[in-house]
Amino acid sequence: MAFPMRKILVPIDGSTGATQAAAYAGELARLAHASVALLRVHSPEIYQLSVLSEIPPLTDFEYLEVMEKQMNDPDKDPAFASAQQALGTVDAGVSRHIVWGQPAEVICDFAREQAMDLIVIGSRGRSAFAALVLGSTSSQVLHHAPCAVTVVR
């Protein structure tokens, strides 16, 4: 039985692991003539902590406007630039997506809704104890994904 691979999902977060996953997915996509979807998932809680440390205090309206501009434009997100560079040229095409929510849940939902054949996700390389206590996005995706998953170390 052949495994048709037409659509590959690569969740990205700007980390080294995500960049390595993009490079791996790029090789697979070229071999299989598959398209690649780069998915950036923003967790509102994490964003609030990071943006507040980088910009002066703003009114609620200004805060939302800054958040909208910085976080919803793939052209302004360095995670897309590094993933795209690592991915290289993919003949079947590359799409870029930004979604807000809890990363593992959003990744699995996106894969299901878009009928992805494979998820290629980076591993953060947490210690075994930290992964046991905290869990990891890649571990949660492995257990709940609607398709095959490759974790790149």
Hey, what CATH topology would domain 7-43+77-152 get?
Rossmann fold (3.40.50)
pLDDT in tens, 112-149: 999 999 999 998 754 454 455 446 899 999 999 999 99
Q: Where are the domains of the chain?
A: 7-43+77-152
CB atoms within 10 A of CB 99: 15
User: Which of these, 73, 130, 72, 135, lies nearest to 104 by C-alpha position?
Assistant: 135
pLDDT in tens, 14-47: 899 999 999 999 999 999 999 999 999 987 766 5
pLDDT tens by residue, 49-91: 555 555 555 555 565 566 666 677 888 888 999 999 999 999 9
